[in-house]
Amino acid sequence: MTIIRRRGTAIVDTPKGILVASGRRKIFLLPGGGTERKAKESRRKAAMRELREETGLKAYSSKYLFTYNESKYYPDGRKRKIVNLHKVFLIKARGHARPREEVKHIAYYKDGNINLPYNTKKIVERYLEMKKEKSPFEFLKNLFSKK
């Protein structure tokens, strides 16, 4: 049986790079997590809440970027037990990122300096492609303009 998790995923793009966090095993992932179903939490709210819980950063703006659904199968053909359905948001946040709760390490991904797991890498690559399509100023202006 495959468990499907609905996850809000945060991209916090800083001059140092894209914020990533890891637990004890030093597997760096984008901040985010599952929704709180009892509270009927949206994936946007989950991404913002998890960012604060994991890093201490307080989100003040967010923009939906895209949906990324993990494959039900690993690249070698084995079936996954858990599949995450990500809604990815670009988030602007205040504060200084520090490890909190289950997070033990904070880092910044830039130019391939950190080995990311397959799905995290695919999300980051897709975001960077979107960003490249326009000049950085135009990209951010369009993302955070009120429509």
Give the DSSP letter string of 71-137. Answer: -SB-TTSPBPSEEEEEEEEEEEEES-----TT--EEEEE-TT-S---HHHHHHHHHHHHHHHTS-HH
Q: Rounded distance, CA 80 to CA 83, Å?
A: 7
Tally of domains in the chain: 1
Supply the DSSP symbol for 72: S
The pLDDT value given to residue 133? 79
The pLDDT value given to residue 115? 93
The pLDDT value given to residue 36? 86
CATH number of the domain bearing residue 76: 3.90.79.10
Q: Which range, of 110-114, 124-128, 136-140, averages the lowest pLDDT?
A: 136-140
The pLDDT value given to residue 39? 79
Residue 72 has pLDDT above 80, yes or no: no
| Residue 10: strand, helix, or coil | strand
For residue range 15-55, list pLDDT tens digits in order. 999 999 999 888 999 999 988 877 789 999 999 999 999 99
The pLDDT value given to residue 40? 87
If you average pLDDT over residues 112-130, what whole number do you get?
94
Mean pLDDT of the chain: 89
* pLDDT band with cut points at 50, 70 and 90 for residue 71: confident
- Domain of residue 47, residue span: 3-144
pTM more than 0.75: yes
